[in-house]
Structure 1
Amino acid sequence: MTRCCESVCFINGTFPPEIHGGAENYIINTAKELQSRGIEVCVITTKKLDRLSDTKVESSTVKEIPVFRFAPPNIASRSTFPERPLYQKAIWRLIDATNPYSYYQVSKLLDTLKPDLVHTNNLMGISSLVTRAIRESGSDHLHTLHDYSLLCPTGSPRTNVEKEAVRTISNSDPVVDAFTKFQKLLAVSPDIVTAPSNHVISEHKKRGLFDQTPTHRVQLGVAKTKDPVKTESLNHRVLYVGRITERKGLDVLLEASKSMESVHFDICGTGPYEDCVKNIAKSIDNVVYHGYVKDGKLQRLRSKADLAVVPSLWMENSPLTIYESFARGIPVVASDIGGIPELIEHGETGALFEPGDSNSLVDTLNEMLDKDKISRMSSNVLTWADNHTIESHVDQLIPLYNRALE
């Protein structure tokens, strides 16, 4: 008789309010949908280590989801280690990957919670050793790949590809090779692996991770919109929404904007590269950097945008900002890199351009900024979004949960 999953424990290195990114949003949205179907959920995560008492487990709720947090002893927390010098980052990453305290606390929590299934996400910050705690607890285990943090200490491997900043994974990169072998020694393979792109699954399998584990592409889900963008006329506006980091390709976008004076560019988001973006944007008349924006303002900006842009320089997995743009009826122009081409059909739901090439971005934007094309693509992306809701995502996820239990 097939068992049905009745309780799920999510594990992630961080959780709001510590960090509120793609993986964290994914857990919240998935957990809420599971709750609506009568499945019990909880989250195990970390918090900042400000005092010794922070190492103890603290329970709370986030959006009515039970959350259990503890601070693993280390030289910094997950949210602050990127600000440290390189040698300290290396020390932090080594301690993080092999942290016995994380293993100990997760073991205790799983013994108490006794979930049917553990759904791990980003393990950076909570240690790869927790996979051993999961195996020993007797719970079944599904892992979702959100990035490359099992292959590279930074989560976004780097080598020279035409432009120095473009990220990819080199087959001969000694750092990647050594780190991958290290992770294979530490981590225990889950019962099932999912990812929103075939690309990220392929990159892990090429390096010997999960080569004996069932893997499935399960694309993300997005909330349906009640207010799609109207396309009666062109506004000649392009919108960027995302983290403000160098790997996101903001330099390429800003350079392209200089050649498109008749097009207005809005940039929304925060991150370590924001001071640089803010200063450059001040010198370009057709660019406005908004920083962090609340949902109301973001929706107003989306209502004016003809196109969204994702100019990433690294191998993105499956950017949620593309899903969110589609749900508002906004086609997307994005870098032809990583898992992005699995989301965008050129000329139908947006367009792809050469990553790192501002001239290619200019040409592609000019090609797509056409009233008839925008109108047709807007209709296409709304249909796409209707088929990629959080409900449809969980419809695919639950059978995999039940399969893991078998």
Structure 2
Amino acid sequence: MKILLVHNQYSTTGGEDQALAREKAMLIQWLGEENIFEYTVSVNDYSKWQILRSIFYSRTQYCNVYDLVKQHQIDIVHVHNYFPVLTASVFKAAKAAGAKLVHTVHNYRWWCISGNFYRPTVGICTLCVDQKNFWNGIKHCCYRNSFLQSLVAKLAYTYYKKIGVFEWIDQFWVLTQFQYQQLIKLGLPVDKLQLKPNMLDPATFDAAEFHATQQATIQAMPNAQRKGFLYIGRLDAEKGIEYILSEWVKLSEQYQLTIIGSGSLEAALKSQYNQPNIIFTGALPFDQVNQYLQKAQYTLQPSLWYETMGLTIIESMQQGTPVIGFNIGTRPELIEHGKTGFICTPHQFIRTIQLAAHYPDEDYDAMVMNAKAYAQNFAPDLIMAQQLHLYENLLSQ
């Protein structure tokens, strides 16, 4: 079985890039390096004019993917992100070259040009789907906060659908049950949908610890040794960072919040929330993030959009750090209230933080154990076995 992974990197590294890197590492481990191929481009390597000129169809990207499939006799082309450089051309190339085609749906851009069904002024927004109105996403400048770029993006996606991209794709892979149900509502056929979540980092996953956790023999870090709350993610509006900071200032200074990440709001937030109990570290390497996770009492997941999964949730739980998340999108599926963390509405946030900070030690230690045990559902070997099973079933059709 030969697999070609195709991906359009964003300007900054994010969860999709991490998911792809982990997937590739495990595929090489299971199938051998000689059977795994990757074709990746980066937005940073192209000018806006180059992207605009080929956003509807790229002969270059078509030929590159087509030639790779033919040259290496690829069985399955697995596309992750494809916009804006690769475009729908790579889907067409894969099918024309005779490969089976899998697409992991990491966001909702097929139906919402912002990709996340979210507008800063209103929160969750599904106008384009509900009203089937071509102009909503354009007039609200939903793509990169630009009218012109939103117009081009909307035209491009309208064109992609018109030429039949959904017909070319053999399987759409989704990351959570919530996303699965959303895509059914959005009109994707059930027989083309497969649920396959992201995995934990193979480089940090300890197989021995996995078995020990299954037997409930791991000793949880005592509550007294864990201090403070941790936010990990982009500092952008849809991630909810502005909201939790506006609420955090209502708490006393004994409540410490450490913020790991960077983004469009970083400078403004640092300036506005310059106080002893709010610490900005900027973006950090993954190993340093894990060190913070091992010492934190809780991780916060306050995203205001649906999300398609939320890697930081399972990565936190892997380190035995319970997660507090808003009752939006995928969070209630991944966090069991009172067992692996807490679920609350944004209006309940402060009260939940106060409750969590003073949670009884015995109950907190049980929560740590539960979180570790739940994270093992995303063990690299388990997820890769599932992925290869899906590949094999697809090839047998």
Give the TM-score normalised by the residue count of structure 2.
Answer: 0.82
1:14 is matched with which residue: 9, 15, 26? 9
Q: Aligned in 2, Cα 1:207/1:300: closer, same or farther, shift over 3 Å?
A: closer
1:214-252 CA-to-partner distances (Å, cap 9, x unmatched) read: 212222211435699722416440000111211111111
Aligned length: 355
SS in 1 for 2:276: coil
1:141 is matched with which residue: 77, 101, 114? 101
2:348 corresponds to: 360
1:89-126 CA-to-partner distances (Å, cap 9, x unmatched) read: xxx4x952433432233222322232111111112131
Amino acid across the alignment from 1:184: K
Summarize the alignment of residues 69-218 of structure 1 with structure 2, pairs less than 5 Å apart.
75=49, 92=52, 95-125=54-84, 126-159=86-119, 164-170=121-127, 171-172=130-131, 174-175=133-134, 181-186=158-163, 187-189=165-167, 190-208=169-187, 210-211=188-189, 213-218=191-196
2:283 is matched with which residue: 287, 292, 298? 292
Asked if residue 320 in structure 1 is aligned to residue 320 in structure 2, the reply is: no
Give 1:201 deviation, angstroms. Answer: 2.9
Q: Is the Cα contact below 8 Å between 1:14 and 1:47 reproduced in 2?
A: yes
Give 1:340 deviation, angstroms. Answer: 2.0
Question: 5+ residue gaps in structure 2?
Answer: 138-153, 210-217
| 96-105 vs 239-248, which moves further | 96-105
Q: Is the Cα contact below 8 Å between 2:68 and 2:74 reproduced in 1?
A: no
Q: Aligned in 2, Cα 1:74/1:254: closer, same or farther, shift over 3 Å?
A: closer
Distance 2:241 2:126 in 1: 21
Amino acid across the alignment from 2:25: K
Distance 1:323 1:97 in 2: 37
Distance 1:168 1:351 in 2: 25
Q: Aligned in 2, Cα 1:275/1:228: closer, same or farther, shift over 3 Å?
A: farther
Asked if residue 268 in structure 1 is aligned to residue 249 in structure 2, the reply is: no
SS in 2 for 1:222: coil
1:381 is matched with which residue: 371, 391, 397? 371
Distance 1:48 1:316 in 2: 22
1:120-176 CA-to-partner distances (Å, cap 9, x unmatched) read: 1112131023111111111111111111121222212335xxx82523423126247
Distance 1:206 1:183 in 2: 20
Structure with the larger helix share: 2
Q: Is the Cα contact below 8 Å between 1:351 and 1:364 reproduced in 2?
A: yes
Distance 1:104 1:228 in 2: 55
SS in 1 for 2:124: coil
Summarize the alignment of residues 230-379 of structure 1 with structure 2, pairs less than 5 Å apart.
230-233=221-224, 235-261=226-252, 262-282=254-274, 284-354=275-345, 357=346, 359-369=347-357, 370=359, 371-379=361-369
Question: 5+ residue gaps in structure 1?
Answer: 1-5, 51-70, 78-91
Amino acid across the alignment from 1:44: Y
Distance 2:310 2:234 in 1: 11
2:387 is matched with which residue: 384, 387, 397? 397
Distance 1:97 1:385 in 2: 40
Q: Is the Cα contact below 8 Å between 2:322 and 2:340 reproduced in 1?
A: yes
Q: Is the Cα contact below 8 Å between 2:8 and 2:81 reproduced in 1?
A: yes
Q: Is the Cα contact below 8 Å between 2:184 and 2:190 reproduced in 1?
A: no
Q: Aligned in 2, Cα 1:42/1:368: closer, same or farther, shift over 3 Å?
A: same
2:197 is matched with which residue: 216, 219, 243? 219
Give 1:205 deviation, angstroms. Answer: 2.9
SS in 2 for 1:216: strand
Q: Is the Cα contact below 8 Å between 1:228 and 1:327 reproduced in 2?
A: no
Distance 1:291 1:390 in 2: 28
Distance 1:260 1:236 in 2: 16
2:140 corresponds to: none
**Identity among equivalent pairs (%):** 21
Q: Is the Cα contact below 8 Å between 1:229 and 1:304 reproduced in 2?
A: no
Distance 1:164 1:237 in 2: 30
Give the TM-score normalised by the residue count of structure 1.
Answer: 0.80
Give 1:181 deviation, angstroms. Answer: 4.8
Q: Aligned in 2, Cα 1:129/1:188: closer, same or farther, shift over 3 Å?
A: farther
Distance 1:247 1:380 in 2: 29
1:252-285 CA-to-partner distances (Å, cap 9, x unmatched) read: 1112211222210000011222112221231x33
Q: Aligned in 2, Cα 1:298/1:174: closer, same or farther, shift over 3 Å?
A: same
Give 1:193 deviation, angstroms. Answer: 1.7
2:36 corresponds to: 41
Give the RMSD, CA atoms, in angstroms: 2.6
Amino acid across the alignment from 1:150: W
SS in 2 for 1:233: helix
Q: Is the Cα contact below 8 Å between 1:229 and 1:303 reproduced in 2?
A: no
Q: Is the Cα contact below 8 Å between 2:235 and 2:266 reproduced in 1?
A: yes
Amino acid across the alignment from 1:138: G
1:61 corresponds to: none
Distance 2:50 2:272 in 1: 31
Give 1:397 deviation, angstroms. Answer: 0.7
Give 1:385 deviation, angstroms. Answer: 1.4
